Amino acid sequence: MKKSYSLLAFLLIALLFMGCAGQSVEKPEQVLKLIDTAVKITEQAAKDKDIKLAREVWTQISEYGVKAKELEKKELADSLGKLASTYVYLVSYIETGDNNQLTIFRNSFEQAVAQLRKCVAAQQQAQVDNRQSKK
């Protein structure tokens, strides 16, 4: 059963990141999908103590942070970097079983996700404002 969850999560990661690859972090809607999928998969990785899955999500989020930086989206890149950095605690928890590491991870992860959502909301508002100013 654990393997089927891991396979499903891996397929979700592959589909999400392949689907987002063309537009990556350029569209806020894509970033919101990325966040939602990353949260679901991360929860599954923590529940199953699946280090391979946790590291895969960590890698993908880091790569999106690099793409955001290349596109000169500093705030988004910083938010993605903060989110990616939380996975150190998840991997530590999975490796050691130390529940304190899981607590630290959950707290820092929730804060990073909230910050990232705020950043995306600001991007969406900026797009709306930009469209309105062109009228």
Q: Looking at the predicted structure, is the pLDDT value of residue 6 above 70?
A: no
**pLDDT tens-digit readout, 16-75:** 554 444 446 778 888 899 899 999 999 999 999 999 999 999 999 999 999 999 999 999
* Single pTM value for the model: 0.82
With bands split at pLDDT 50, 70 and 90, how would you rate the model's confidence at 86? very high
With bands split at pLDDT 50, 70 and 90, how would you rate the model's confidence at 2? low
Residue ranges and CATH numbers for the domains of the chain are 2-124 (1.20.1440)
pLDDT value at residue 135: 63
Largest CA distance in the chain: 57
Contact predicate 99/107, CB 8 Å: no
CA pair distance 27, 20, nearest whole angstrom? 9
List helix spans (H) across the chain.
2-21, 28-48, 51-70, 74-85, 87-96, 99-133
